[in-house]
Amino acid sequence: MFPTDTTVAVPVTQEVLDGIGKVLAVHLSYSSRANQRGRTPAFPSYFMKATSSLALTGSTVERPADTELLQFEGEIALVIGTAARRVTPEQGWSHVGWVTASNDLGIQDIKYADKGSNIRSKSGDGYTPLGPVLLPAAQLDPAALRVITKLNGATVQDATTDELLFSFGQIVADLSQQMTLHPGDVILTGTPAGSSIFQPGDAVSVEVCGAGTHPAQPLTTGELLTTATQATQGFQAFGNPTKVTDADRIDAWGDAEAAGLAPAVEQEILTPLVRAQLQAAAVATLSTAVKKAGVENCTVAGLVATKGRRRVMGRARTLRYVPLREDLFQQVGGGYNAQKRVIDDLNEGDVLVMEARGEVGAATMGDILVTRAGVRGAAGIISDGAVRDLAAVEDIDVPVFHSGAHPSVLGRKHTPWDIDVTVACGGATIQPGDIIVADSDGIVVIPPHLVAQVAADAAAQEAQDAWVLEQVEAGHGIDGLFPPTGEWKAKYEAHKASQAEQAGQN
Please give the annotated binding residues, written as ranges: 366-369, 388-389
Crossing angle of helices 272-280 and 451-473, in 10° steps, is 40
Q: What is the 3-state secondary structure (H, E, C) of 266-291?
A: HHHHCCHHHHHHHHHCCHHHHHHHHH
Give, in order, the Cα–Cα distances in Å from 47 to each of 27, 188, 302: 7, 10, 44
- With a CB cutoff of 8 Å and minimum separation 6, the contacts of 406 are 360, 361, 362, 363, 386, 387, 388
Q: 91: buried, middle or exposed (CB in 10 Å: 19+, 13-18, 0-12)? A: middle
Give, in order, the Cα–Cα distances in Å from 356 to each of 276, 300, 421, 502: 32, 13, 14, 51
Per the CB < 8 A criterion, the answer to whether 353 and 378 are in contact is no
Please give the annotated binding residues for Mg(2+), written as ranges: 389
Please give the annotated binding residues for substrate, written as ranges: 366-369, 388
SS3 163: helix
d(CA 361, CA 108) in angstroms, rounded, equals 34
d(CA 166, CA 28) in angstroms, rounded, equals 9
Per the CB < 8 A criterion, the answer to whether 171 and 187 are in contact is yes
Per the CB < 8 A criterion, the answer to whether 56 and 14 are in contact is yes
d(CA 385, CA 304) in angstroms, rounded, equals 11
Q: How many residues does the chain have?
A: 506
